[in-house]
Amino acid sequence: MAGRIAAILLPFALLPAALMAQESGGPSQEMVDRARQAYGPAPPKPKCDKTSNDPDVIVVCGELEEQEQFRVRSDEQAEGDYARETMNRGKPGTPNVDGDGIFKGPATFRLSPPVVPLIIDLEDIPDAPEGSDADRIGKGQKGS
C-alpha cells in the first residue's frame, strides 16, 4: 500500500523541479531556441520607407518570401532518393577476375599493322593530254 501511495505522489514531488528547470532556461530551452532559429520563419524584413505627401495616394510595399525553404519532399521524391541510395546495399561488388600482378592498362599490341592513310599530292598529277576523254570531260564536253 505504501508503494502505491509513493507511486501516486512521485510525479507531484518532481513537479517543482521541472517547473524550476523551465523558468531557468536550462538545456531544454536552449535546444528549443536553437530549433526555432534553424527551422522557424525568417526574421521580418524592415518596412517600406516609401511615403507620400498626397493623402489620396496609398503606398503598398511588400516582398514575396522564398517558400522553397518551407517545402518538404513529396513521397515519390523521397522513395526515389531512398531507392537510389540503397540500390546496391549489401551486395558484393563485381569481382576483379584479372587478379593481382596482371597489367591493367590499355592494350599495347595489335594483331594487324595500323592502317596508313594514302597521301596523294594533287599538284604532282600531270594535266590530261589535249583531246583525251579526261580533257574533254574536264571541259564539260561528252567523252568518246
Most confident of 17-21, 24-28, 46-50, 134-138: 134-138
Q: pTM, whole model, 2 decimals?
A: 0.22
Burial class (CB in 10 A: 0-12, 13-18, 19+), 9: exposed
At residue 67, the pLDDT reads 75
pLDDT of residue 142: 78
Bigger pLDDT: 6 or 119? Answer: 119
- Nearest CA to 62 among 84, 74, 44, 43? 44
Residue 82 has a pLDDT of 92
CA dist., res. 44 & res. 46, Å (int): 7
3-state helix, strand, coil in the chain (%, to 5): 40, 0, 60
What is the tens place of the pLDDT at every residue in 100-143? 767 677 767 767 777 888 888 888 888 889 989 988 888 888 76
pLDDT tens digits, one per residue of 58-72: 777 777 777 777 778
Residue 60: the pLDDT is 75
